[in-house]
């Protein structure tokens, strides 16, 4: 997603100044929104560090 791309870009630009961990978070929940799982997987494939809950 564009938001994940932007955050990962900021992480890369600031890596010499600060350690940033990017968390993929299923805001609607896995069981309510059927698209959540695929978005989380895509976010992790893009470079997110963790899954939040």
**28-41: per-residue pLDDT in tens?**
766 677 788 888 99
pLDDT at site 53: 74
Q: Give the C-alpha separation, 39 to 17, whole Å.
A: 29
Pairing assessment for the beta strands 50-52 and 23-25 based on DSSP bridges: parallel
Q: What is the pTM of this model?
A: 0.80
The count of structural domains within the chain is 1
- Phi then psi for residue 52, to 5 deg, are -100, 165
Region at 23 (left for phi over 0; alpha for psi -120 to 50; beta for the rest): beta
pLDDT at site 35: 83
Half-sphere exposure of 43 (CA within 13 A, CB side): 23
pLDDT at site 30: 66
Domain with 22 in it: 2-52
- If you average pLDDT over residues 10-24, what whole number do you get? 97
């Amino acid at each position: 997603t564009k938001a994940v791309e932007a955050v990962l870009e900021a992480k890369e630009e600031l890596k010499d100044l600060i350690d940033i961990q990017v968390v993929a978070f299923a805001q609607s929940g896995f069981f309510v929104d059927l698209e959540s799982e695929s978005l989380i997987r895509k976010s992790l494939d893009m470079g997110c560090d963790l899954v939040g809950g």
